[in-house]
Amino acid sequence: MASLSRSALIEALSAGRPEDLLGVAETSWVDFKRAPYALTTEKGKFELCKDVTAFANAQGGLLVLGVIAEKKPDQALEVATELRPFPQAQADVVQYVDTLNEYLRPRVAISHHWFHDPARGSADTDKYYLVIEVEPVPELTRYVVVRKMLSDKDRFVDGLAVPVRHGDRTVYLPSEDVYQLINEGVRARDAAPVVVPESPGRDWGEDLDRALDTLEQHQDWDEKPVLFWQSFPAQPAAGILPDLHSSGGIKGGLRNQDVLRPDGFNFQDSTGRLKTFDGGLYLGRTRCTVWVRPDGLVTAGAVATSEMLCWAVSESSWLQRLNVHVLTEMTLEYFRLADKLVVPRVPGRWQHRIVARRFAGDRPRGLGGRGFEALFSEISPASADSWAQSWPANGDPERDAYEALVRIYTLFGLDVSSNPDVDGNRVPEARIVGGT
């Protein structure tokens, strides 16, 4: 019985190796489906809602459509036994989202990725696998419920269901647990003090730039061009950021990062550099760094030199070009850390920020082109030495990476649509994993 990590599973599909999934067992984070959900029936709608809700109420996961899983006589788990990709027209993802929005409370955001199967299909019909990624809802907003039940005649009836992913199976929260949750909510409401209107939040002001200064001093970057990413809550964490130093929380997440590419451009701690600094967590490498403070401020940086952001691209005597792919991958990896590891632990509004320092001057940084194209494409120099832009956090790494790139591209007078890794208003993880 084989096993794959999330990133390895996506990589296999992106690289056109779906056969790598055969023999892989279903787990707490992956569920194989032999065919698209039949939304023409109420049973099909309920199955979609049930499966998505189960992951949302647990630790999140992937629904992989187009793979048959069966339980073997000698195995307790269901394993992938057959590949059955299908034409894209058989699964209307927009209708999937509409169905989830209608029947789930609170609503659950999903993302989806299509992967072509090169070995199946005819000349006029390409076939694909569809992967639906479900993020876990924050602990404070659990549980998501399906606001209809399915009768023994496969028809919707009044009621609610609370599916939860447990190991490789989906189970339902027992009725007595639901009753207890309702009672606890009523008691908490009755005992709650008079609600004071939420303050507009902390004015972080110069504190954000002081954090950048601190990182530059520790990293000895005072004279180097550096790109920074920052994230901060409107209301700082009450006391200490939850799970900051927990092996199952932020500390564990930084120590064992689920990166898109193990040998790619990221903040991975491969040499055990993570340490405690000023009460927070500090991961300092020569070319990049991440710092999570106890009040919730997250700051990361990477040098805009040939060591990192300008890696392996053409240079000239008067400017140095940023590697578009490295810039994109580092940006997405930062938001995969910030949006998934830290932001859900402090409720309320969050802001993201991107800052460039020393990007102009005698030898400015430039942007334009990627890989082999960079030898011939036009290059635009940075229009300012310092550049700082912020935006309200989406909480979705692919969306926030896009928003960050929009702002850094503006520094060079470029439109982000020229970035080959951008798709609409997202930076899909599959583009980075697949290297397309």
Report yes or no: 368 and 378 within 8 Å, Cβ to Cβ.
yes
Q: Categorize the per-residue pLDDT at 110 as very low, low, confident or very high, splitting at 50, 70 and 90.
A: confident
Instruction: Write the secondary structure of 105-143 as one string of H (helix), E (strand) and C (coil).
Output: ECCCCEEEEEEEEEEEEECCEEEEEEEEEECCCCHHHCC
Tell me, what's the pLDDT at 83? 97
CA 295 – CA 211 distance, rounded (Å): 12
Tell me, what's the pLDDT at 12? 92
Ranges of each domain in the chain: 6-182, 207-434
Mean pLDDT of 207-224: 94
Mean pLDDT of 134-149: 86
Query: For residue 193, what is the DSSP state?
Result: P
Query: How many Cβ atoms are within 10 Å of 256's Cβ, its own excluded?
Result: 11
Tell me, what's the pLDDT at 182? 78
Cα radius of gyration rounded to whole Å, the chain:
24
Query: For residue 344, what is the DSSP state?
Result: G
Tell me which of 433 and 292 has the higher pLDDT: 292
CA 367 – CA 409 distance, rounded (Å): 8
CA 330 – CA 322 distance, rounded (Å): 12
Structure confidence by residue, pLDDT tens digits, 180-203: 877 776 666 566 554 444 444 567
Judge if the upstream peptide bond of residue 143 is cis by omega within 30 degrees of 0: yes
Fold entry, domain 6-182: 3.30.950
Report yes or no: 51 and 45 within 8 Å, Cβ to Cβ.
no
Tell me, what's the pLDDT at 372? 46
Tell me, what's the pLDDT at 312? 87
Q: To the nearest whole number, what is the mean pLDDT of the chain? A: 88
CA 21 – CA 80 distance, rounded (Å): 7
The two tokens of residue 308 are 């990192």
The amino acid present at 307, given as its one-letter code, is: E
How much is the pTM? 0.56
Tell me, what's the pLDDT at 177? 81
Mean pLDDT of 394-413: 94
CA 416 – CA 420 distance, rounded (Å): 9
